[in-house]
Amino acid sequence: MPVEGLFQPLSGNAMPRFGGVATMLRLPLVENTENLDVCFVGVPFDLGTSNRSGTRLGPRQIRAESALIRPYNMATRAAPFDSLRVADVGDIAINPYSLHDSIARIEEGASALIANGCRPITLGGDHTITLPLLRAMHERHGKVGLVHVDAHSDINDTMFGEKIAHGTTFRRAVEEGLLDCHRVVQIGLRGSGYTAEDFDWSRERGFRVVPAEECWFRSLAPLMREVVAQLGDGPVYLSFDIDGVDPAFAPGTGTPEVGGLTAPQALQIVRGLRGLNLVGADVVEVSPPYDPYGTTALLAANLAFEMLCVMPGVLYRERESTFRSSCNVS
Ligand code: MN
Ligand code: MN
């Protein structure tokens, strides 16, 4: 039920879901985060990609696919719009001719969005954008814990000699002291590397590394209970590279790797973060030119909605009677 003073997504009964302006979740488009608890912001950027590009088109496609999402979460009973003020603040204007200027613009834009305590959910964009986002988080919150879902560890020192690229993000974040390294978890890593020790750099920094192989054929709910216990009460950032999910579910990305997470496991990861002090989140690496049916953007849109549903302060419409679960699930 609508609450006065809070924004509601435009109903499919007021305007068909295929009509109207394509904002995220059909929320109002606003100019700044004044009085907002959570905002959706796009970063249409792909200057940091190493293989297939196209993530500059990600925010628009994610917004378009989000039109089908309704306000209540039927699995978790989250009712985010009944307790939080949420809107779409549009895109950060990157400079398509300069990676470095773009990085500065993203940090400046993110800092402005979070200055009053608003928690941003960012629609990428390639994974380079998480570095300036983490810089902005650090300015406000100090070192943050991190849940990083990805096929790749993104801890290269350089790529083609460059320090800033989509595969160097978390090495730079560690070097710059942005992360609380003993509260960092990387989930879904897999594939081939340049050396057999590639993922050990993360482990040596104190990260928990959960390779995709350890996730195969399993519920990730138990893992997420451990993650929540490890991350504790401090600020946490979630960075979700869509290529953490298997290309069967998320083909529209630049550096696909086989043997990845399933779509249900991706939902379990995000839902499993409930209760943490999530200060911001992103979903990155959606590349619409490689996503002919919108499958990848649809998953990304739903993951962004699930991120909203685990933000602090979300109301849950808990069951009032004692229905029995229809099967045993952990
Ligand atoms: Mn990545
Ligand atoms: Mn990746």
Domains and CATH numbers, the chain: 24-318 (3.40.800.10)
Counting ligands in written order, the one closest to the CA of 240 is: 1
How far does residue 172's CA lie from ligand 1's centre (Å)?
Answer: 13
How far does residue 81's CA lie from ligand 1's centre (Å)?
Answer: 30
pLDDT at 327 (0 to 100): 66
Low-confidence spans in the chain with pLDDT less than 70: 1-2, 321-330
Counting ligands in written order, the one closest to the CA of 190 is: 2
Ligand 1 ion: nearby residues, β-carbon < 5 Å? 127, 150, 154, 241
How far does residue 135's CA lie from ligand 1's centre (Å)?
Answer: 17
DSSP β-ladder status, 277-284 and 235-241: parallel
How far does residue 32's CA lie from ligand 2's centre (Å)?
Answer: 30
pLDDT at 241 (0 to 100): 99
Counting ligands in written order, the one closest to the CA of 154 is: 1
- Those residues whose C-beta lies under 8 Å from the C-beta of residue 97, and which sit 6 or more positions away, are none
In this structure, are residues 283 and 62 in contact, taking their beta carbons and an 8 Å threshold? yes
How far does residue 154's CA lie from ligand 1's centre (Å)?
Answer: 6
pLDDT at 4 (0 to 100): 85
How far does residue 150's CA lie from ligand 2's centre (Å)?
Answer: 5
In this structure, are residues 160 and 221 in contact, taking their beta carbons and an 8 Å threshold? no
How far does residue 327's CA lie from ligand 2's centre (Å)?
Answer: 34
Counting ligands in written order, the one closest to the CA of 284 is: 1
Give the DSSP letter of residue 137. Answer: H
Which residue intervals of the chain are DSSP H helices? 58-65, 99-114, 130-141, 169-175, 200-205, 221-231, 263-271, 295-309
Side-chain half-sphere exposure of 163, counting CA atoms within 13 A: 7
Ligand 2 ion: nearby residues, β-carbon < 5 Å? 150-152, 241, 243
How far does residue 87's CA lie from ligand 1's centre (Å)?
Answer: 26
Q: Which of 255, 193, 247 is nearest to 53 (CA)?
A: 255
How far does residue 163's CA lie from ligand 1's centre (Å)?
Answer: 15
Number of neighbouring beta carbons within 10 Å of residue 75: 9
- Those residues whose C-beta lies under 8 Å from the C-beta of residue 131, and which sit 6 or more positions away, are 103, 164, 169, 172, 173
DSSP β-ladder status, 208-211 and 86-91: unpaired
Counting ligands in written order, the one closest to the CA of 247 is: 2
- d(Cα 293, Cα 241) in Å, to the nearest integer? 19
3-state helix, strand, coil in the chain (%, to 5): 35, 20, 50
Which 3 state secondary structure label does DSSP give 232?
coil
pLDDT at 109 (0 to 100): 98
pLDDT at 324 (0 to 100): 65
Give the DSSP letter of residue 7. Answer: -
pLDDT at 1 (0 to 100): 66
pLDDT at 66 (0 to 100): 98
How far does residue 78's CA lie from ligand 1's centre (Å)?
Answer: 28
Which 3 state secondary structure label does DSSP give 275?
coil
Cis peptide before 125 (omega within 30 of 0): yes
Q: Which of 256, 245, 248 is nearest to 302 (CA)?
A: 245
How far does residue 224's CA lie from ligand 2's centre (Å)?
Answer: 20
How far does residue 314's CA lie from ligand 2's centre (Å)?
Answer: 29
Entry pTM: 0.96
Counting ligands in written order, the one closest to the CA of 126 is: 1
